[in-house]
């Protein structure tokens, strides 16, 4: 029996996560879902956005399914990623048939460094006038990411990945990142192509079909994956995984979407596709492929939520997928 810790969070997380869980439950697998929560709502009640009891439940879990957290996001998702020692955030962006994508040829994956960069929280207010932030890049984290990227491209039958960086400006930090990733790739017989991240943002918009796997530092990965979301039809479609050595956390790329929260119309596909990544991770690859295929079919039939021009609500999309399963 696999144990999945379910943390819906706030906003539309409270709508899309239960919808995705319903889909997985319909498969009748040996999975136990353990309910917990974290985020703004929990902070209001307990004073703590991520209670220690929830953090302690991580140790007993095979994987975590997370929705989104509001203002307290940094106090929830960063400690959770740290708890599982997550070193890579995998963010696929694919344009699906039937979805009005800006760039229908997009089918790429962003492998984002997940533990350092500008997310280490080393910020200070030096004076009334000045504030600073320390950006951390280590050889260890860059190597772990690169090793994962090499395995990933080989699994996909590819032989190269693109390294996004800005070592023309951040010469020492991104210099270390780029050199480390290149050296690990070359040791693994994988080719790399180097791309300055701002120019890459433009090229991804113009020629997304040229990119399959993009490996980048933390903040660049965050920004480029939202850009990729724009290419394929919006944030409602992008799943992600945060991989650690013994556990992984799966979550949609989107946040709490306060503008539509509570209306029951959030697109659950990003979260359902995140659970597909989770099923693969815990050894249910065939079932993951089935749910993915049916989700794509549902999209192509136009049975979608309003963000994609459809008339369905969150539960309606989940019910459609379940009926097809």
Q: Which residues bind ligand ATP (CB under 6 A)?
A: 12, 16, 68, 70, 235-236, 254-260, 266-267, 270, 305, 307
Q: Which is nearer to ligand ATP, 114 or 271 (CB)?
A: 271
Q: Please, what is the minimum distance in Å from the beta carbon of residue 24 to ligand ATP?
A: 17
Encoded tokens for 4: 């999945």
Q: How far apart are CA 118 and CA 288, in angstroms?
A: 34
- Contact assessment for residue 298 and residue 290, using Cβ atoms and an 8 Å cutoff: no
Q: Please, what is the minimum distance in Å from the beta carbon of residue 179 to ligand ATP?
A: 33
- Closest-approach residue to ligand ATP (CB): 255
Q: Which is nearer to ligand ATP, 114 or 240 (CB)?
A: 240
Q: Which is nearer to ligand ATP, 108 or 266 (CB)?
A: 266
Q: Please, what is the minimum distance in Å from the beta carbon of residue 8 to ligand ATP?
A: 13
Q: Please, what is the minimum distance in Å from the beta carbon of residue 264 to ligand ATP?
A: 11
Alpha helices in 31-172, H assignment, sequence order: 40-46, 52-57, 73-83, 139-155
Q: Please, what is the minimum distance in Å from the beta carbon of residue 254 to ligand ATP?
A: 3
- Contact assessment for residue 175 and residue 167, using Cβ atoms and an 8 Å cutoff: yes
> Cα 7 vs. chain centroid, distance in angstroms?
15
> Cα 302 vs. chain centroid, distance in angstroms?
24
Q: Which is nearer to ligand ATP, 178 or 254 (CB)?
A: 254
Q: Which is nearer to ligand ATP, 258 or 262 (CB)?
A: 258
Long-range interactions of 184-189: CB distance < 8 A, separation 24+? 184/142, 184/143, 184/146, 184/147, 184/150, 185/146, 185/149, 185/150, 185/161, 188/147, 188/150, 188/154, 189/159
């Amino acid at each position: 029996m696999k144990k999945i810790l379910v943390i819906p969070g706030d906003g539309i997380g409270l709508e899309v996560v239960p919808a995705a869980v319903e889909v997985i439950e319909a498969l009748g697998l040996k999975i136990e879902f353990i309910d917990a929560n974290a985020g703004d709502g929990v902070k209001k009640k307990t004073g703590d956005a991520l209670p220690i009891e929830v953090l302690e439940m991580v140790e007993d879990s095979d994987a975590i399914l997370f929705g989104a957290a509001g203002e307290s996001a940094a106090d929830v998702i960063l400690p959770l990623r740290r708890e599982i020692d997550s070193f890579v955030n995998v963010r696929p962006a694919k344009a699906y048939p039937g979805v009005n994508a800006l760039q229908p040829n997009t089918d790429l994956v962003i492998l984002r460094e997940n533990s350092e960069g500008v997310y280490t929280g080393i910020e200070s207010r030096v004076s009334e006038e000045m504030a600073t932030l320390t950006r951390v890049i280590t050889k260890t984290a860059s190597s772990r990411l690169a090793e994962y990227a090499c395995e990933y491209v080989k699994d996909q039958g590819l032989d190269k990945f693109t390294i996004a960086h800005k070592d023309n400006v951040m010469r020492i930090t991104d210099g270390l990142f780029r050199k480390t990733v290149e050296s690990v790739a070359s040791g693994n017989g994988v080719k790399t192509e180097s791309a300055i991240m701002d120019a890459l943002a433009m090229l991804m918009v113009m020629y997304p079909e040229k990119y399959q796997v993009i490996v980048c530092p933390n903040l660049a990965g965050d920004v480029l994956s939202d850009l990729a979301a724009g290419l394929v039809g919006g944030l409602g479609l992008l799943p992600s995984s945060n991989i650690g050595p013994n556990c992984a956390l799966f979550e949609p790329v989107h946040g709490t979407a306060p503008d539509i929260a509570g209306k029951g119309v959030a697109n659950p596909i990003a979260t359902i596709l995140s659970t597909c990544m989770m099923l693969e991770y815990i050894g249910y690859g065939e079932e993951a492929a089935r749910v993915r295929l049916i989700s794509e079919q549902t999209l192509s039939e136009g049975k979608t939520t309003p963000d994609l021009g459809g008339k369905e609500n969150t539960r309606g999309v989940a019910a459609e997928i379940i009926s097809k399963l």
